[in-house]
């Protein structure tokens, strides 16, 4: 089969599932052939024999499984991270969480201790380690499966010695003082209908309780109890009002930020 015929086949299989069926098919072909996209475009008349992996990948994608899980990688901040069904797929809006954390870190003492609650694939802690060479970072996750993924990602980006990986619930396993908490916790309400793709992601990483903001509220409580200097969290687009009310009742003044789509997406407190 010629490469362009494989692309055509993929477009037919995936056009109901994704707005970019051609690009996704080409990415699968690149992985199957071990070639770059530019090679594929220049050789679209070449004859190839698609293997079992390619056909299975198309079937998985046609069944709405996210492309990132099929390829085993996702990009975040222009870097490549390994992902699989043990961890949440990085979202572009989480780059803003990292940006805010970096800005807040500048106001902290040197060698500040930053704790990430719910580190998943490790993207946030790893980017912080890369961007803030002097801080000490602890990445906490309740899932040992997720910690395996984040540790191998930290190794891949050369920062495994800068981050302590800890299995635990919230701050239960942290006994040192903390200067900043960073978190993109699960914040979806338990009964919110999910798109088909989301059902492939770990529910532990998605659902934050009955209303969805329960984990965020608990993190705010911990921020106060542990006398932490700064807190930055991602949240759901509709959680600004309840979280504002929650903070104000505790005498805190959160600053909210929006994502690139203009939706409320997170907050920080100093
Ligand atoms: N910190 C990881 C991320 O932002 C995981 C978040 C999570 O599992 N809720 O993608």
Ligand 1 centroid to Cα of residue 3, in Å, is 37
Tokens of 112: 């500040």
Burial of 56 per CB tally in 10 Å (0-12, 13-18, 19+):
exposed
Ligand 1 centroid to Cα of residue 213, in Å, is 15
Return d(Cα 4, Cα 200) in angstroms, integer: 30
Pick from 63, 78, 105: which residue ends a domain? 63
Is residue 130 helix, strand or coil?
A: helix
Categorize the per-residue pLDDT at 195 as very low, low, confident or very high, splitting at 50, 70 and 90.
confident
59 and 94 assigned to the same domain: no
Return d(Cα 99, Cα 19) in angstroms, integer: 29
Confidence (pLDDT) at 237: 96
Q: Does residue 152 fall inside a structural domain?
A: yes
Would you tell me how many other CB atoms lie within 10 Å of the CB of residue 183? 27
48 and 104 assigned to the same domain: no
Q: Which of 1-5, 65-69, 95-99, 189-193 shows the lowest per-residue confidence on average (mean pLDDT)?
A: 189-193
Q: Does residue 121 fall inside a structural domain?
A: yes
| % of the chain at pLDDT higher than 70 | 100
Ligand 1 binding pocket includes 127 (Cβ within 6 Å): no
Q: Does residue 76 fall inside a structural domain?
A: no
Atom of ligand 1 nearest to the CA of 90: 10
Closest to 189 measured CA to CA, from 198, 176, 178, 177: 198
Confidence (pLDDT) at 153: 98
- DSSP-assigned beta bridge partners for residue 137: 114, 163
Sequence length of the chain is 270
CB 209 within 8 A of CB 192: no
102 and 52 assigned to the same domain: no
What pLDDT digit, counting tens, does each position of 19-44 carry? 999 999 999 999 999 999 999 999 99
What pLDDT digit, counting tens, does each position of 51-78 carry? 999 999 999 999 999 999 999 999 999 9
Ligand 1 centroid to Cα of residue 89, in Å, is 8
137 and 183 assigned to the same domain: yes
Return d(Cα 105, Cα 137) in angstroms, integer: 12
* Total count of domains within the chain: 2
The C-alpha R_g of the chain, in whole angstroms, comes to 21
Q: Does residue 221 fall inside a structural domain?
A: yes
Confidence (pLDDT) at 193: 85
Closest to 121 measured CA to CA, from 68, 171, 162, 173: 68
Q: Does residue 170 fall inside a structural domain?
A: yes
Ligand 1 binding pocket includes 184 (Cβ within 6 Å): yes
Categorize the per-residue pLDDT at 197 as very low, low, confident or very high, splitting at 50, 70 and 90.
confident
DSSP 122: S
93 and 185 assigned to the same domain: yes
What pLDDT digit, counting tens, does each position of 105-136 carry? 999 998 999 999 999 999 999 999 999 999 99
Name the residue range of residue 41's domain: 3-63
From residue 160, alpha-carbon distances to 78, 129, 150, 270 in Å are: 19, 9, 9, 28
- DSSP-assigned beta bridge partners for residue 164: 138
125 and 21 assigned to the same domain: no
CB 129 within 8 A of CB 119: no
Ligand 1 binding pocket includes 186 (Cβ within 6 Å): yes
Atom of ligand 1 nearest to the CA of 202: 8
Q: Does residue 178 fall inside a structural domain?
A: yes
22 and 140 assigned to the same domain: no
- 188-189 and 163-167 beta bridge pairing: unpaired
Q: Does residue 209 fall inside a structural domain?
A: yes
52 and 109 assigned to the same domain: no
Q: Does residue 71 fall inside a structural domain?
A: no
Categorize the per-residue pLDDT at 194 as very low, low, confident or very high, splitting at 50, 70 and 90.
confident
Over residues 16-21, the mean pLDDT reads 97
Would you tell me how many other CB atoms lie within 10 Å of the CB of residue 249? 8
Instruction: Out of 94, 116, 219, give the residue to mutate to test ligand 1, the one with the largest number of ligand atoms within 8 Å of its CB.
Output: 94
For residue 63, what are the contacts with CB-CB under 8 A and spacing of at least 6? Answer: none
Return d(Cα 136, Cα 25) in angstroms, integer: 41
* Residue 143's CATH number: 3.40.50.150
Confidence (pLDDT) at 77: 97
Is residue 229 pLDDT above 90, yes or no?
yes
What pLDDT digit, counting tens, does each position of 166-190 carry? 999 999 999 999 999 999 999 999 9
Confidence (pLDDT) at 202: 94
Is residue 97 pLDDT above 90, yes or no?
yes
Is residue 196 pLDDT above 90, yes or no?
no
122 and 48 assigned to the same domain: no
| % of the chain at pLDDT higher than 90 | 96
95 and 180 assigned to the same domain: yes
114 and 248 assigned to the same domain: yes
106 and 216 assigned to the same domain: yes
Atom of ligand 1 nearest to the CA of 141: 8
Give the phi and the psi of residue 105 in degrees, each rounded to 5: -60, -30
């Amino acid at each position: 089969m010629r490469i362009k015929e494989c692309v055509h086949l993929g477009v037919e299989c995936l056009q109901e599932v994704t707005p970019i069926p051609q690009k996704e098919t080409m990415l699968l072909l690149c992985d199957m052939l071990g070639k770059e996209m530019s090679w594929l475009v220049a050789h679209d008349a070449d004859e190839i024999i698609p293997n079992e992996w390619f056909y299975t990948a198309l079937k998985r994608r046609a069944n709405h499984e996210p492309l990132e899980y099929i390829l085993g990688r996702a990009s975040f901040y222009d870097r490549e991270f390994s992902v699989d069904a043990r961890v949440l797929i990085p979202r572009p809006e989480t780059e803003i969480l990292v940006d805010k954390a970096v800005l807040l870190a500048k106001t902290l003492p040197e060698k500040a201790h930053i704790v990430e609650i719910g580190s998943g694939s490790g993207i946030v802690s790893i980017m912080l380690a890369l961007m803030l060479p002097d801080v000490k970072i602890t990445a906490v996750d309740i899932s040992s499966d997720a910690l395996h993924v984040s540790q191998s990602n930290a190794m891949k980006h050369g920062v495994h010695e800068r981050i302590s990986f800890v299995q635990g619930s919230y701050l239960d396993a942290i006994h040192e003082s903390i200067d900043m908490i960073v978190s993109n916790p699960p914040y979806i309400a338990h009964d919110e209908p999910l798109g088909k793709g989301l059902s492939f992601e770990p529910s532990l990483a998605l659902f934050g309780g009955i209303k969805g903001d329960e984990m965020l509220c608990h993190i705010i409580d911990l921020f106060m109890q542990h006398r932490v200097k700064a807190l930055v969290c991602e949240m759901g687009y509709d959680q600004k009002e309840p979280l504002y009310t929650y903070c104000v009742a505790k005498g805190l003044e959160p600053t909210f930020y929006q994502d690139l789509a203009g939706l409320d997406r997170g907050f920080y407190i100093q």
